[in-house]
Structure formats: structure tokens, C-alpha cells
Structure 1
């Protein structure tokens, strides 16, 4: 018979494993019921036409976009951290986000009537090229300081951002760019968000190659000695990251901090083995985005605060707490 202590330990472990899925499910239900147009579960149960229209045309598409954005950004953040071998990098601190913005601006100026797929393709190409340059730059400089790596990325991103803003200014697109690039889910309805479903195959590919990405984080020498094609895996990782960034920026705009905070929190509790931690990273990213979106919908109800602002506040606070904890 197992001892009482063993049973209690198993019970606590089961409760910890169930915490994130239960919280995620609760947040999804809250997200479906919060909004200007009040929609109760009783109205849905009574088959009200207005409630079902609100659910299918607005609330469910918005929930899908929120979940996919959170899952994708958290996943691409942890991939990028293993590729660069630095805990403080994500697309917003490596220039990838600014490069995607530039790609979208080029698409809008060259082909104004282009659809979301064309804009996402150009954003993916620009983001992938910028990420390759950044990784090559870090490898060339052989930076050892942990803080210097994201600082270089921020400087690199500032240059790309300045180019993007000058491009928009020269074509009289600056004001509209600042509006649609701020992360915002209020305009998500059925028919104009489907590009974000590209995140789903990216996450599946990340899970399929999770073990190889874990080895990638140990360095080129270790990965090569274990039979991993280092350059091919780096290119694959950057391609997955660029696809996620392009799809999310085109659909909802820029959402910061998800790929930075969530992987660090999960790594503190569960370690660096992606095959084991990737589900927690994905659910954690989705939960964080849901929390910030619900907060934005309630702060100045019935108006809405864009998630780019709420995520900046919540994500920045969580990141500061992480730094304080690590220093202690």
C-alpha cells in the first residue's frame, strides 16, 4: 500500500497539472459572455436568434483569434529563445515585428487591394529575412552577455521600425499604420480573421520538432554531435516564428510580451525540455492573452482598451517580477 505522503504528493501534482487547463477553460467561457451586447448562457440555451448570431459571427471568431494568437506567440517566443540561446528574446526584441510591419506596408502600397494572404506572405518574407540577419549578427559578434543580446535586437528593431515609419510617412500612410498595428481584437468578426489559423500548423510543427529545438538550445557543437543539422533547424525555427508573426500582425496587430513572459514562467517551474513544456507554454500564452483582452473589455466598459495597451502593462509588470525573483 502506498504511504499517505506519496498519495498526497500525487494528488498535489495532479492538481498542479490541472490548474492551467481549468483556468483556460474558465477564461474561454468568460470571454464568450463579456461584451457590449450582453449574451447570457440562458439566451443561448433558449435558442435566441440574436444570441446565436452574436456567438457565431463575433464571440467565437474572437475567441479563436485570441487563443491562436496567444498559443502562437508563446510558442514562437520559446522557439526563438532556443535558437538564439537567450531568455530575453522574442519577435519584439529581435526586429521581427518591425520587419513584418514593413512587409505589410510594402504590400499595401504596391497592391492596395491585396488580401490578407498577400500581406501575410510579404510580412513573412520580411520577418524571415530580418530574423536570419539578426541571428547571423549575434553569431558574428559572439555576444556572451545575456542582456546585450536583446539590447542589440532592440537597436536593430529600432532601425527597421524607423525605416517602416519613414516608408509610411513618405506614402501618407503613417496615421493609418499606427492605428491598425496596435493590437486590437475589437474588429475580429467572421470573415476577416481566418489568416490567424496559420498558427495551428506552426504549433503542430513546433511540437513535432520539440526535441530537436531543445538540443538546438544547447549550442551548435552539441546539436551537431547528436546528429542535428544545426543550420537547417535554425532556418526551420525562424520560418515557424516568421509565419506566426506575419499571421498575427495581419489579423490583430502587434501584441507584445507574450513570447517573452510565458516561456520564462514555464521554464522556471518545468525546465527547458520543449517536448514536456510546450503544452503548458501554449495554454499559458492563450490564458495570458484572454486575461488581458477581458481586462481591456471591462476597464472602461462599454468601450474597449486595445490589447496592445493592456498586454504592455500586464506583461511588463510580470516581466519585472520575473527579473526581481531571479535576482533574489
Structure 2
């Protein structure tokens, strides 16, 4: 007991120090996001009493909503990726590689064609239903394939996502909506202003629910037999997890478009550093997902300022490089 207490003390201090550093870094990124842009924002405007101050309006109505949207979307997509990896029992899947994002985009296309007058929340609901159907289809296809390698799972997801994306592109081409489709497919926070991001708070609620149910989803990821032996309803858990993933994906796609690699890279980085304890990992995944998304957005705003590169494009480049680094590291560890 004494040895355990002596070990727990330094471990707890290290964990507290790591959390403090992560939160300070996230706060610094948020401040940088508020300060970076075409308009020169001075912090004195925060305490300005003038309602006509253009700089204060830029800060309140554009920069703050954009920063909040980055935090909400990044953390939600990272946790959704972690949840999808548990349900598929594979570390190389995420909503953008199993057809979930593409299905949500198809749902948005259907609403724009047949019911463009629907309010935004109704369009999000339709996109969530399509995303749920796409995720369920992926798991159904996966259950009917003999998996000889872990790489078969992401390959199946990419093929399914490609088929759905091809069908969506064909429909968009027929109705001259290719440009609209590209806007939904590539994440971009440049249009976020006050009143255009509030739907992401719903994704925050779904993310919090996933955090509280992390243990149950972990058990579901161990297989139907294991979950049933513990007295859990496996099918209900899977559908709950798919519902969270679909809701989060639909909220993000409708608001800012698809953001690739967040749900794939972040859980794997956290797993390499922290370990496989999902209950402890989920908060780290949320924080790192928000930080990575915000860092990529800042990079896109600074590279060709005063213009900017969409965060989806920057995340595609950065995420692919990080993913290759993870693969090479795992290969060296396996070889060693």
C-alpha cells in the first residue's frame, strides 16, 4: 500500500501538470484565433463602451463565434472518431472514412433538391438520418466479410464512402450543384458568424453523452458475446453509438462542412501517449481534437494572408503527414 501511494503521488502530479499544459496551450490557441484576421483587433475593444466600434463588432460577431465553432467541431469530430473506432474494433476508421460524412452530405443534397424551404435544424435532422444509415450500412457490410487483416476494415470503409460520394456527385452534376457540394465536402470556418454556429452546441451535448458512456461503448467494442455476458444489450449500445456519431457528423457538416482526419489522427496519438484506457482517453481526445483543428485553421489563415485556406484542406495535408508518421512508428515498433 505504501509503495502504491508513493507511485500514485508523482503520477497524479504529472497528470495534473499535463492537463494544465494542455489547457494553457488550448487557451493560447483560442487567443491567437481571436487576434488573427484581416481586421486589426485590439484587446482594448473588449472593454469599449461604444456600440459603433467596428473592431468590437468584428470581435464579438465574427472572431468569437469562429473560435467557439472550432472548439466545438474539433472536439466533437475527434470523440466521434474514437467512438467509431470502438464500434468497428479498428483503430484506422473515422466518420470520413466509413461513409458517415458522405452520407450526411447526400442527405443535405436531398433536402436542397426536394425541400429547400426546410429550416436548418430540419435539414440537420435529415442529414443525421442519412449519416446513421450510412454508418449502419458500413457495420452491416463489415459483419459479412472475413477479416484477415486490420487493413481490410478501412479499405471497406473507403470503398463504401467512395460509392456514396460518387452517387452524390452524380446527382449534384445533374442538377448543377457541384459548387454547393464542394462547400459541404470541405470544412471552412470563414463563413461562421454569430447566428451561424449555434447548432454545434448540439454536437457538444452528444459529445458529453459519449464521454459519460465511454465505458459501455468500450465493452461494446469488445464484441457481442463479451457485452452480452456482462448483461449489456449489445445492439442497443451499437445503435446509441451510431446515433451519437451521426448526430455529431450532421451538425458539423451542415455548419462548416466535412473535416477529415481529426477522428482518425487524434485518438491514435492519444492512444500512443496515454494508453488504451478509453475512460481516461476521451477527455484528452476532445481537447487535442479542438487544439488540432484550431491550429490548422490558424495555419490556413496565416499562410496566404489576407486570404485563407479552408481548414479541411490544411487538415488533409497535416493529417495525412501525421497518419504516415503513426504508421511508420508502429511499423518500427513491430519490427523491433
Q: Same fold (TM over 0.5)?
A: yes
Q: Using the alignment, how far apart are the partners of 1:138 and 1:326 within structure 2? A: 24
Out of 175, 179, 182, the position equivalent to 1:175 is 179
Q: State the Cα deviation string for residues 115-137 of structure 1 (Å, max 9, x = none).
A: 22122111111110111111011
Residue equivalent to 2:275: 271
CA contact (8 A) 1:138 1:149 kept: yes
Q: Name which of structure 1's ranges 12-21 and 284-293 shifts more when overlaid on structure 2.
A: 12-21
Kept in 2, the 8 Å contact 1:214–1:273? The answer is no
Q: Which residue of 2 aligns with 1:95?
A: 99
The alignment partner of 1:86 has SS state of: coil
Structure 2 residue runs of 5 or longer lacking an equivalent are: none
Q: CA deviation at 1:272?
A: 2.5
Taking the TM superposition and a 5 Å limit, the aligned residue runs for 1:85-164 are 85-164=89-168
Identify which of 36, 39, 42 aligns with 1:37.
39
Partner of 1:257: 261
Shift of 1:273: 2.5
1:232–1:55 Cα change, 3 Å: same
Q: Which residue of 1 aligns with 2:21?
A: 19
Residue of structure 1 equivalent to 2:68: 64
Structure 1 distance, partners of 2:10, 2:251, is 44
- Output the CA distance in 1 between the equivalents of 2:267 and 2:108: 28
TM-score for the superposition, normalised by structure 1: 0.95
Task: Go from structure 1 to structure 2 and tell me whether the alpha carbon gap of 1:4 and 1:242 turns closer, same or farther (over 3 Å shift).
Answer: closer
The separation in 1 between residues aligned to 2:122 and 2:45, in whole angstroms, is 40
Judge conservation of contact 1:107–1:118 (CA < 8 Å) in 2: no
Does the CA-based 8 Å contact 2:100-2:134 persist in structure 1?
A: yes
Distance (Å, rounded) in 2 between the aligned partners of 1:118 and 1:171: 22
Secondary structure, aligned partner of 1:194: coil
Map 1:163-242 onto structure 2 (within 5 A): 163-242=167-246
Counterpart of 1:300 in structure 2 is: 304
Structure 1: runs of 5+ lacking an equivalent: none
Distance verdict in 2 for CA 1:82–1:39, change over 3 Å: same
Q: Is the 8 A contact 1:97 1:127 kept in 2?
A: yes
Q: Which moved more, 1:64-73 or 1:218-227?
A: 218-227
- Please give the alpha-carbon distance, in whole angstroms, between the structure 2 residues aligned to 1:15 and 1:125: 42
- Once residues 7 and 206 of structure 2 are traced to their aligned partners in structure 1, the CA distance between those partners, rounded to angstroms, is 42
1:280 to 264, 281, 284: 284
Residue 290 of structure 1, aligned match among 294, 298, 303: 294
C-alpha distance in structure 2 between counterparts of 1:42 and 1:32, whole Å: 13
Shift of 1:287: 0.2
CA distance in 2, matches of 1:326, 1:20: 25
Q: Secondary structure at the match of 1:37?
A: coil
The alpha carbon displacement at 1:200 in A equals 1.3
Q: Please tell me whether the aligned partners of residues 216 and 233 of structure 1 are also in contact (alpha carbons under 8 angstroms).
A: yes
Instruction: Give, in angstroms, the shift of residue 249 of structure 1.
Output: 0.4
CA 1:106 to 1:270, structure 2 compared with 1: closer, same or farther past 3 Å?
Answer: same
Q: Distance in 1 between matches of 2:7 and 2:91?
A: 36
* Mean Cα deviation higher: 175-184 or 118-127: 175-184
**Deviation for aligned residue 1:47:** 4.5
- Report the count of equivalent residues: 328
TM-score (norm 2): 0.93
Supply the distance in 2 between the matched residues of 1:10 and 1:254 (Cα, whole angstroms): 37
Residue pair 1:44, 1:51 contacting (<8 A) in 2 also: no
Contact 1:95–1:154, Cα closer than 8 Å, also in 2? yes
Distance 1:152 1:10 in 2: 41
What root-mean-square deviation, in Å, do the aligned CA atoms of Structure 1 and Structure 2 show? 2.0
Cα distance, 1:46 vs structure 2: 4.4
| Structure 1 residue matching 2:40: 3-state secondary structure | coil
